[in-house]
A and B are shown apart, each in its own frame.
Chain A
């Protein structure tokens, strides 16, 4: 069974640009969560989607948004990039929101110059 896949794996952008990251969950998994990982703050929850609906949202500015498609694939978008947005963005999938066993993808390393 294929794991969680994230594309692209690496991305370099400049301040002010926007970026879209993609996540394909494990087949059959319908819940997708996104996390930001930085050396200083660790892993911080961004948002969770289930059945194309956002269920939970972390404490991030509105520049961070996401969506989920009918096939459970998810995208997150960051607009007006700032230097501090440089991080590893991790996607995790689970069967459903009440199944807390989450499986993480390898992440997308975003560098903002």
Chain B
């Protein structure tokens, strides 16, 4: 059973456009929601993370929007660049239980010049 559902599976965006990736979860005990970026041949790298006490977190061109009542969160990449082309994973965990992360299935983002 997939604890975190991610969509879309793939996304093509023009350079300068906005990329939006969505995730949904069921377990209301989750209280940490990171996004990871993975390039081919590399391990995932933490991009940005949010806790459910805030509805939005912004770091540079990357923004997480969080809707606790809907149990959904999304990643927005503003002014998308070709260098952003990668696979993006959302994840969720319960802070006090350690580092057992539940990952979404990933979104392959291609930014066309």
Interface residues of A (CB under 8 A from B): 4, 31, 33, 35, 41-45, 48, 50, 55-56, 58, 90, 92, 94, 97-98, 100-107
17 extra A-B contacts, CB within 8 A, seeds A31-B99, A102-B46: A33-B100, A35-B101, A35-B103, A41-B105, A42-B103, A42-B104, A42-B105, A44-B103, A45-B100, A45-B102, A58-B100, A90-B43, A92-B43, A97-B98, A98-B98, A100-B32, A101-B46
Q: Does B97 contact A (CB under 8 A)?
A: yes
Q: Main SS of chain A's interface residues?
A: strand
Q: Residues of B with Cβ closer than 8 Å to A?
A: 32, 34, 36, 41-46, 49, 89, 91, 93, 95-106
Q: 3 tightest CB-CB pairs across the interface, nearest first?
A: A104-B43, A97-B98, A43-B103
> How many residue pairs, one in A and one in B, have C-beta atoms under 8 Å apart?
66
User: Complex: how many Å from CA A4 to CA B42?
Assistant: 11
